[in-house]
Structure 1
């Protein structure tokens, strides 16, 4: 049966009713309270600047866009109360809810949306996710300094009317509008505190289910239910705390002591320990774990050497013996999880895997690549990763495989998450760990990562045909033709290999047995708005 994107997302959402005969009061004041582990300090709670899942986890509890997701995963109206779409499906007229409020009680206006979107696109902002707004008329030109803000297809006609004009019809536009880069920001507050408005509870106004009340940097975030939120009566969790515990072992101990209620990251040995106990919930995750290769730095300027590194890695061994979280070996970029019009998963429709371990071929390609470059010895290679027990274990496994299979010595280097992101964005690396999760379930948002002008593509790899096919796919209304274009784009990516895919993610969440109502989606950390303690 043919299903559209929204139906697919709803199907892939997993609702977790976690029941228990006993309950517990979550705080001294009798309010429902949950404690999560963000692992690290969120790099940014500014919707224009956030690029990571940690920041996104917090943002999606604090803010709301024109559309949002309900508990069943359906895309529903959020800040919008009415929507009119033109016959050519290029112009949307949104009417905002009368009860749309910021957490200080001031109204959310159409100007807050127009200002927010144009701020993301402004070259001065430097948003790495600006390309997600290129669907708007004039957006790309403005972001690249070739047009003006006035040419961008978003306009506040009055306080409650927002008119949006697209370059081309986009079948998944509603889904896009649930992403944090499309959230509004409080115009006056941002202008008054341009550098720090999103870094302090006193200045960070939000319009979603929660408002930030405390931020102990590198230690803890606290958010409480927003009394101004239009849907407050449906929100069951009163208070959320995000701890910042970067040690998985410590987080596990805190879970056992009931100091953490959900733990989202565990090393392999603890996953094995918890299997079968009932607290561990394993679900799919629409993303890919990989190592980016800087094609402007030796030795990865040579395609044969990039392929040799790919073929020297035993992905099956990594997921079976190292990560051990139910992941699938990745021989491509787009993960499993998107059903095509033919009823087959995109990943299975053409080829399951482009790259598999082949040591003999890897050695041959390495030798040929070195000869092409005139190298008698391979330039020294450093593999970089952000500090985490799992990342370290995988990096060590890859290091050992490259030594055994190619006789290549690889140095390992790790840094704290925020510093690591800065280092990678400056392209100060040769081989760097990264993960990419789709903002919604569609191959296009995975393949977007390696667009030539995508700020997330820190490899230096640019291919005009790849970019052309991606642009054509975004405007294609026939779903079969769109899938074909995306397959052709992935063919090019996997031929050039500016990265090493390792595995397709799963989510392994430890959840206290007294909790119920939690929601885990295929492309997000747990949404705890409707979570509550069993009575």
Structure 2
């Protein structure tokens, strides 16, 4: 069966949500038009954002806020199309290696400072500076000199990111990378104000310290309770931003979040509890679609008992992913029998996932055999107890408990589970303080490369302690391969290496189960990110 691309789904979803408001002025209850309705919306983050400094953000909770505060050289318009953002002109050299960006006239920071090319040079080199200890400097390694500087083998002067003047930024790549414009949509490429950052190391910790160049500013931040964004009057495109105020609650429990929506306290819900999905499926406010993301458990391959690949593989064969997605979650999630999610069209016209093997179908006998072989290799009589770690928010507890029971029933293992609230959990994960820990990974754009590259030895997002030269080489070859058919073959080979070594445990391919109030129109939904609220409109109180 031919699959519709996920990019197409994004556009269709936007049309469905916005269509009723097209070509007419909405009349709300009490005879008010939508122009008379207060333009504010309330959503739920699920917890305190880890950070609002783009250099250190790594999670969708932080990204959701940050994407409304800052604007990069490119951005998404209200239809989900990639367009020029803070740059209004981009010139690419014939060899595809040199990008020249022109910063648009009128672009400003929320404190009134002009936005310049020097802001981007400073911000990008700040991420690369090893003393910054930013989250993901490796995403800049396409740029000439970037890796050497970040790893202490080169100087900042050799990094090919240069502001020729206030309006012109020149960036030179090591190799021509066709998808580079999509790469720099990532949060790490967003600008920060040098004067603000250098004046206060905690500038991003409170509302009053944050200076932005995007659609919104932070007007209030009640930690662990609520974050409020206000439309920025200094934003160059403010006239086209329709939502004036965004309130983000920080409620971790999905059942409470759902009840708040039903009582009218929230205008949308992005994470329905599993038990509510069936109940809401016929509700016209319900939207379900696949995400380009994979829900995983990450092994720390240097922590016993997961130093042995056969033991890691045994756990994978012991998971009944079909039962988990269909009987427990029931929200459109799909069993993950590989790592790259559905939605990538290959040169053959098929989905990347369809062309790949199903690596780990449920097979308790094979699981037991691999466990026995792994125990013998390690000289162990039985597998020591281990702990699954997960964050408290969402349906993660249900999944952890299901895995705990499957490992017990199918392998006779004693497994502990431990949860933490999101901000604490992120630190635990980054510090690699786990044996087996939950995480979800989404691509920066729809292609196998960015998700597979998470496990490159050089990747700042590789928290497994796993390294494989063959895997790294396959990815490196795919990056410069201009023939798409050959490039996809290399990426399939890379995924096979990843699945055979099993440093991560793919569980399911995620789906978004969202409720959006009929009082709101124009929310842009995307398979890569949380809802874009900039162009939303409240049509009734």
Q: Give SS of 2:224's match.
A: coil
User: Please, which of 69, 72, 95 is the counterpart of residue 62 of structure 1?
Assistant: 69
Q: Is the 8 A contact 1:23 1:533 kept in 2?
A: no
Residue matched to 1:89: 96
Instruction: Quote how far apart the aligned CAs of 1:361 are.
Output: 0.8
- Range moving further from structure 2, 497-506 or 473-482: 473-482
Q: Where does 1:49-448 land on structure 2 (aligned, <5 Å)?
A: 49-193=56-200, 195-351=201-357, 353-448=358-453
Which piece of structure 1 moves more, 37-46 or 374-383? 374-383
Per-residue CA deviation, residues 328-361 of structure 1 (Å, 9 max, x unaligned), is: 000111000111122111111233x211111111
Q: Deviations for 1:287-317, whole angstroms, at most 9, x for unmatched residues?
A: 0001111111111111111111000000000
Shift in Å, 1:11: 5.9
- Answer whether contact 2:318 2:367 (CA < 8 A) is retained: yes
Contact 1:84-1:94 within 8 A present in 2 as well: yes
CA shift, 1:483, in A, is 0.9
Question: Equivalents in 1 of 2:164, 2:501: separation in Å?
Answer: 47
Q: Equivalents in 1 of 2:185, 2:433: separation in Å?
A: 33
Residue 46 (structure 1) aligned with residue 47 (structure 2): no
Displacement of 1:26: 12
Query: 1:268 Cα deviation (Å)?
Result: 0.8
Question: What CA distance in whole angstroms lies between the structure 1 residues aligned with 2:314 and 2:417?
Answer: 19
Taking structure 1 as the reference length, the TM-score comes to 0.95
What's the offset of the Cα at 1:236? 0.8
Preserved CA contact (<8 Å) 1:26 1:33: no
Number of residue-to-residue matches in the alignment: 527
Q: Distance in 2 between matches of 1:336 and 1:278?
A: 26
User: Would you say the 8 A contact 1:8–1:339 is kept in 2?
Assistant: no
Q: Tell me the C-alpha RMSD between the 2 structures.
A: 1.8
CA contact 2:293–2:528 (8 Å) conserved in 1:
yes
Residue 381 of structure 1 deviates from its aligned partner by 1.1
Structure 1 unmatched runs, 5+: 1-6
Deviation digits for residues 84-134 of structure 1 (CA, Å, limit 9, x no counterpart)? 111111111111101111112210011100000000111111122111111
In 1, the alpha carbon distance for the partners of 2:520 and 2:236 equals 25
1:459 aligns with 2:452: no
1:502-521 matches, cutoff 5 A: 502-521=507-526
Name the SS for the 1:81 alignment partner: strand
Q: Aligned-pair distance for 1:228?
A: 1.1
Can you list the C-alpha shifts for 1:41-96, whole angstroms capped at 9, x where unaligned?
11011111000011111111111111111111111000111111111111111111
- Cα distance between partner residues in 2 of 1:344 and 1:103: 46
Which residue of structure 1 aligns with residue 534 of structure 2? 529
CA distance in 1, matches of 2:45, 2:133: 25
Deviations along 1:448-470, whole A, 9 cap, x unmatched?
11111223221111101111111
Q: For residue 287 of structure 1, give the secondary structure of its aligned residue in structure 2.
A: strand
**CA distance in structure 2 between the aligned counterparts of 1:460 and 1:451, rounded to whole angstroms:** 10
Q: Which runs of 5+ in 2 are unaligned?
A: none
